[in-house]
Amino acid sequence: MGGTKLWEILQAAGETRSILNLATIHGFQTDNRGLRTFVLSDDISIRVNAVIAALQATGVFYQGIPGQKLVLEKIFYQLCNLSLAPVTLVFVFNGPGRPSIKRGTRVISRPLWLIDHLKKMITYFGFHFYDAPGEAEAELAWLNAEDTMIFLPRTVTCLCLGRAL
């Protein structure tokens, strides 16, 4: 059963809530971490891959200086939107121990120029980042299960490795 069909089955049990609602209830009212803030984390590579896939789908070639600027611009606007949320954001990058093959497919690493610029932008927005020892998504699921951070799931991996609110 693929991820799409699994989401269809689980959709009835799901609940849609805004980041503002989560931040209020779990960050300020519950305050189970003693921080008085809601710590939200994200796998930056999934966000970047989604932007690049969207550009490719529209026929935009994202290589070269103009394409690089376009990728960074799209991420910049996403960070602008996230900066409006009353949360502490932590972005996790894939680390050096990331597997070279994932689900039978060779993993393509993002160029260093992109990673460096993303880290600078994240810092300029006042967000936090760090490099996972291996796969960022697995690191986020572990942190979520340990009740350290809540992460923004985009794949069914969160069901295998993560914890619900």
User: pLDDT of 91-100, one tens digit each?
Assistant: 999 888 887 7
Q: What is the CA radius of gyration of the chain?
A: 17
Mean pLDDT value of segment 142-160:
63
Selected residue with higher pLDDT from 3 and 71: 71
Please report the pLDDT score of residue 42 as a whole number: 87
Selected residue with higher pLDDT from 57 and 11: 57
Residue 136 CA to residue 53 CA, distance in Å, equals 19
Query: Where are the extended beta strands (E) located within the chain?
Result: 38-43, 87-93, 101-102, 105-106, 128-131, 150-151
Q: At what angle do helices 44-57 and 136-145 cross, to 10 degrees?
A: 130
Please report the pLDDT score of residue 3 as a whole number: 61
Nearest to 137 by CA among 164, 104, 159: 159
- Residues 95, 81, 150, 130, Cα dihedral to 10°: 20
Q: What are the chain's domains?
A: 19-94+104-161 (3.40.50.1010)
1 has pLDDT over 50: no
Nearest to 87 by CA among 162, 140, 22: 22
Please report the pLDDT score of residue 100 as a whole number: 79
Mean pLDDT value of segment 27-43:
71
